[in-house]
Chain A
Amino acid sequence: MKYKLLPIIFLFLLTSCVKEKIEVKDISSSISPEFGVPLAKATIFAEKVIERYDDQGLVTTDEEGVLTLIYQDTLESISADEFLGLDDQQFEDVYELNASDLSNLASFGTLSFEQDVIYNLEFGDDRLDSVRFETGELTLLVNSDGSIPLTGVMSILDPFTGESLFSTNFSDDSPPIAVTVNEDFTDLLFRLRSDDDFTNGLRLVFAFELTDNGGTYPDEISISFGLTDFSIASAGGYIAPRIIDLDDQSARISIFDEDFGGQIRLEDPKLNLFFFNGYGIGVRPVINEIVGENNDGETLVIPGNQIEALDVVSSAPSPGEIGMSQIQIDNETMTPTVTDFMAFEPNRVTGKISLEINPENNESNFISRGSSLDVNFEVELPIYGSLADFSLIDTTGIDFGDLVDSADDIQEIDQLDIRLFVKNALPIDAGVQLIFLDDNFNRIDSLFAEPTTVIPAAPVDLSAALGSPDYGRVIGETETRIDISIPRERIDPLKDVTQVIVFVFGNTTGNGDNPIRLYPENFIEVNLAAKAIFNLEL
């Protein structure tokens, strides 16, 4: 019986209350969670960085793909008239009636005769085959010393085919016999004869008719023919060499408008002249001098004789087409080098340039008003070089009032940490300092205790050959995490901040000792985040 009751006794013992003693010496009812949230981000490619710094220059890439700043200010267009410079043309001629003429007039009552002449147009040394005038006036004066009526026709003929190109009638039947004819010869094509006998020969035919009305017979008929106030629409033939001075060609290099405060060296800058030649005539640019003027008003003059002679600009292959040429002045063709010239940091470069027309003395040329010779001057600055100890300072307005008030509303925030996480694939290391000021420019706080280089530059390839596009190319990126702790006691004073001084400084990779190349794919990614450390009582 005892044996059979054992399980029940066991059950009773186990269900009796057994106390476990725990001693608690410290109770903490507060928690300090730390919440991090991203605030903003931006991925900025090198092109944008440059545009941000200098929005005047055109950012493009050169033939190797290196980001390049282009500054173009001047575009000059040279007209056909400036090429030829033709003066008004005037010719005088007299036709004397002989005894036979007078006899025929008396016998038949009328007399008809023609005068076929070629006048040499005075176009200097130019010997043209044809001219089409854009504007101009043809003036014909016919005078007779008799009193009988005179009628006639003046024709301009193709000197080779005799085809009539232009004709005009004249008539006068009351003494004194004097006829003036004015004709507009706009868009009129004149064919000219230039050979051993004639130079710019214009063939004219005058046909006269005298009618006997009982008046006095003339002894002579005088002719005055003029081409005035004209401009050339087109011309063909031989255009003799000459020199034309261009207006000063200048380019403003706005990247040098602000002082870098450091040393900049551009390894391969160029001065470019672009020619868009719509004329069938070659020209050669001649640099008289290049003048650089920097931000301090100082000038640096490079005489033309320190620049190698430039090539001839090609002519248009045919009317309506354009012959394009780029004339480049680089380190090889100028002394001192363009690199040294740019180290002067000129924010304006002026080229004093002349054009040598038809320098190769070609016989066959053409020009036309519908075309032009356009000249463009530019400074090309590939971002291939180095920058040492640059610094930039700017001041901007800012208002932290709302932000600080918001922070005041959340008293549980013990500390606010601002984080910058930067991926830098730009070959530039940089530091930044923000100094917060009040209305009276009194310093309230600053981002860092001391300016510090906070974003290291991306590494670049210095093992490639010096002339290789890979030399100085970014081959990696750096990651930097910057935590700026702002305890609560630093937050409140910020509500009085109205101004902030932004101080940016740095170098290209390697403290500016090595040249770097900047490519479009180079970027910097900035992530701004905040971590709030709370102190919460449960």
Chain B
Amino acid sequence: MKRLIIILTLLFSVQVYAQMSGQIGQFDLVPQRIYANPAFQPKAKWNIAFPGLGNVYAQHGNNWIQPRSFVEGGNSVLSPESILSAIGDEATTTQMQGIELLHFGFRFGKNYIHLRANERVQARVNIPADIFRLAVYGNVGSYQFENNTANFSNLAIDAIHFREYAAGFNREITDKITVGVTAKYLYGMEVIQTENSSLKLQTDQDTYALTSSGQLDINTSGINSLVSSEEDFDANEYLLGRNNSGFAFDLGATYEPIENLQLQISAHDIGFIRWKDDVSNYKTNDASFAFEGVDMTDFLFQEDISFGEEFQNEADSLLNELEETFGFEETNGSFKTNLNGFMRYGAAYTIFENQGFRGTGWCNVTHGLGESMVDFQASLGYNQTLWNSIQAGLHVTKTGDLPYTLGGGLSLNAGLFQVYAMVENISVAPLAEITIVDSDDPSNTSTVFLPASPSDLRVHFGINFTINRDYGSNQGSGRAMIQR
């Protein structure tokens, strides 16, 4: 039962690493635009999300799955070495899911207030390429490690599962300025935090002497009970009774310096969770250890001792020292994890607007705050609105070191019913057709299809009930795209 719940929450949670699709803020018919800036006001007076389906979010990211680069020379040999050569310094895989459990909001006067609850999961596995290189080539093989050192620094697994209860309020202060805030109570359920990861292994190319250094510190909460088969699962305790609490907030503002232009700024997920339940802290000691072989200097020429016994004793002593160096020491102290806070800066310009049609160009930039894992991202896009019933958008995004991606979204509204979907990386859809030719019988081929570039995939979809979508237009200048 508990595993089922975990799996479900993993599959259907939202807002991973707090960085949703960069375009959602521009869909002013969608109540979830408020995730992009707490100062944003959706256009409808009343906004109610379909429970559990208001905003379903899934994200997958990796920096290493690229079928084209897996094949050496462009098209001939597929081998572990060729796959490895396509990986940079680190193979990073992120998996983020979430679900908006509840969302309710309404506008009154120049104000907008909303309440929401989200289940959020963020997971990242970071594997230094040197681990794969060590496995494929060995420590003294054909691959030359930099400084003869296999660098496992940043080997990390970070995962967090928590629930967020949020209450937001924003208000149009003047005709040009709107400010908003969202306060969040956080309920932590599981976490794995790699606090420190700096292991390295150096091999002397002459003597093969091995020297390790660095350390690995990992904190967990809720994992022991998750994997333990001895404890009876208590669903109430799991879903509501854990003593892992935290707080966070979002702040935002918009400003219109000239007609049709809106500038946006916001800070998100500024907060933390303190983990107290089912806590384990695993720490290595300083893993500095030099293994140069069994040192026989002291007993090599002694005739009154058993060489075999002395060798064994020395080897045992080395093993004990090795265990002491690398043995994980477990403690149970509470610890804190910060959310992955980030800043968002945006601008939107209404290119044209007439009765029923509106075209808006926009751009935004996000970046992490402090030790946040949120990557730098910049987007440039265009949104088209038709009759307050259809909104469609298209944009280009550059995220970190990843290539440029194309994204798009569509919101359809019929009466109070609204359905929307947004994709951040449309190019993931094109497939690579991989034809494998039997070297003994070239006429014998088999074909598989893989995404050509699945490096960053973000999908939102949701169902909402929006009432009085003209409310925003009637309240302001009628420039809906930047209407507060």
User: In the complex, how many residues of chain A place their beta carbon closer than 8 angstroms to a beta carbon of chain B?
Assistant: 50
Contact with B along A20-55 (1 / 0, CB 8 A): 111111111101111111111111100010011001
Q: Are B433 and A19 in contact (CB under 8 A)?
A: yes
Does residue A18 face the partner (Cβ distance < 8 Å to B)? yes
Q: Which residues from B are CB-within-8-Å of A15?
A: 408, 426, 429
Q: Which residues from A are CB-within-8-Å of B384?
A: 4, 7-8
Contact of B430 among A20, A33, A421, A527 (CB under 8 A): A20
Segment at the interface with A among B100-108, B176-184, B434-442: B434-442
Q: Are A36 and B139 in contact (CB under 8 A)?
A: yes
Q: Are A33 and B300 in contact (CB under 8 A)?
A: no
- Of the A-B pairs whose beta carbons lie under 8 Å apart in the complex, a sample of 18, sorted by A's number, is A7-B359, A11-B392, A14-B426, A20-B67, A22-B432, A22-B433, A23-B75, A23-B76, A24-B75, A24-B436, A25-B77, A33-B135, A35-B139, A35-B140, A37-B291, A38-B209, A48-B301, A527-B206
A373 CB to nearest chain B CB (Å): 37
B283 CB to nearest chain A CB (Å): 27
Q: Which residues from A are CB-within-8-Å of B80?
A: 28-29, 31, 538
Contact with A along B67-87 (1 / 0, CB 8 A): 110010001111111000000
Q: Which residues from B are CB-within-8-Å of A27?
A: 77-79, 436
Task: Report how far A32 CA is from B136 CA in the complex, Å.
Answer: 7
Chain B residue at smallest Cβ distance from A51: B301
Residue of A19, A21, A26, A33 contacting most chain B CB atoms (<10 Å) = A33
Which residues on A are within 8 Å of B, measured CB to CB? Answer: 4, 7-8, 10-11, 14-15, 17-29, 31-44, 48, 51-52, 55, 419, 421, 479, 481, 527-531, 533-534, 538
Task: Report how far A4 CA is from B433 CA in the complex, Å.
Answer: 36
The 4 closest A-B pairs by CB, nearest first: A33-B138, A38-B293, A36-B208, A36-B140
A263 CB to nearest chain B CB (Å): 26
Q: A22-B435, A36-B138 are in contact. Are A527 and B207 (CB under 8 A)?
A: yes
Q: Which residues from B are CB-within-8-Å of A29?
A: 79-80
Task: Report how far A23 CA is from B74 CA in the complex, Å.
Answer: 9
Q: Which residues from A are CB-within-8-Å of B357?
A: 4
Residue of A17, A27, A44 contacting most chain B CB atoms (<10 Å) = A27
Chain B residue at smallest Cβ distance from A8: B392
A392 CB to nearest chain B CB (Å): 15
Task: Report how far A15 CA is from B78 CA in the complex, Å.
Answer: 29
Does residue B137 face the partner (Cβ distance < 8 Å to A)? yes
Does residue B228 face the partner (Cβ distance < 8 Å to A)? no
Q: Are A7 and B394 in contact (CB under 8 A)?
A: yes
Q: Are B77 and A26 in contact (CB under 8 A)?
A: yes
Task: Report how far A41 CA is from B296 CA in the complex, Å.
Answer: 6
Task: Report how far A419 CA is from B204 CA in the complex, Å.
Answer: 12
B400 CB to nearest chain A CB (Å): 22
Q: Are B437 and A24 in contact (CB under 8 A)?
A: yes
Chain B residue at smallest Cβ distance from A420: B207
Contact of A529 among B293, B300, B303, B449 (CB under 8 A): B293
B408 CB to nearest chain A CB (Å): 5
Q: Are B392 and A479 in contact (CB under 8 A)?
A: no
Q: Are B434 and A35 in contact (CB under 8 A)?
A: no
Task: Report how far A34 CA is from B303 CA in the complex, Å.
Answer: 37
CB neighbors of A among B400-457 (8 A): 406, 408, 426, 429-437, 439, 449, 452
Q: Which residues from A are CB-within-8-Å of B75?
A: 22-25
Given A29-B79, A37-B208: 15 more A-B contacts, CB < 8 Å: A4-B384, A14-B408, A17-B431, A19-B432, A19-B433, A22-B68, A28-B78, A34-B139, A36-B138, A38-B209, A40-B294, A48-B300, A55-B303, A527-B209, A534-B138
Q: Are B293 and A41 in contact (CB under 8 A)?
A: yes
Q: A15-B429, A34-B138 are in contact. Are A529 and B207 (CB under 8 A)?
A: yes
Q: Which residues from B are CB-within-8-Å of A42?
A: 295-297, 300
A73 CB to nearest chain B CB (Å): 21
Chain A residue at smallest Cβ distance from B314: A40
Q: Are A20 and B433 in contact (CB under 8 A)?
A: yes
Q: Which residues from B are CB-within-8-Å of A23?
A: 75-76, 434-435, 437
Q: A7-B394, A36-B208, A41-B294 are in contact. Are A21 and B435 (CB under 8 A)?
A: yes
Chain B residue at smallest Cβ distance from A531: B140
